[in-house]
Amino acid sequence: MKAANFTHNEESETSSENQPNINNTAELTFSDEQISYLHLYQITMLETLLVLELLKKATTHLSTSSYPTLGDTQFIFEGIQVCLESFIKDNNFTQSELAESILQKLLEY
């Protein structure tokens, strides 16, 4: 079991100087399995954000252009496609299904 310390602020408790005691800590204990699950969840969230960031940048680029041309749009879509394909091929990437789903939608257009 591993422990993690978290600071806990309790305004009701006061020190001898009548100041709030903000140094209370609570100790949480996690099993190795729980820590492994939390680590996987963190990786999954970060990789989801990576895919969404790609789409955000493309959307921002196209929406800030006063008159996006067909060439601009095609270039952006091809760049998204290349990135998504690299995510899909990466066996360690936890969000390859998300990337695959987005790629299939793009290919429809």
Number of H helices, E strands in the chain: 3, 2
pTM for this predicted structure: 0.63
pLDDT at 25 over 70: no
Q: Give the per-residue pLDDT at 85.
A: 95
d(CA 37, CA 49): 18
Q: Give the per-residue pLDDT at 108.
A: 87
**Average pLDDT, stretch 12-39?**
71
pLDDT for 38-90, tens place per residue? Answer: 898 999 999 999 999 999 999 888 888 777 788 888 888 899 999 999 999 99
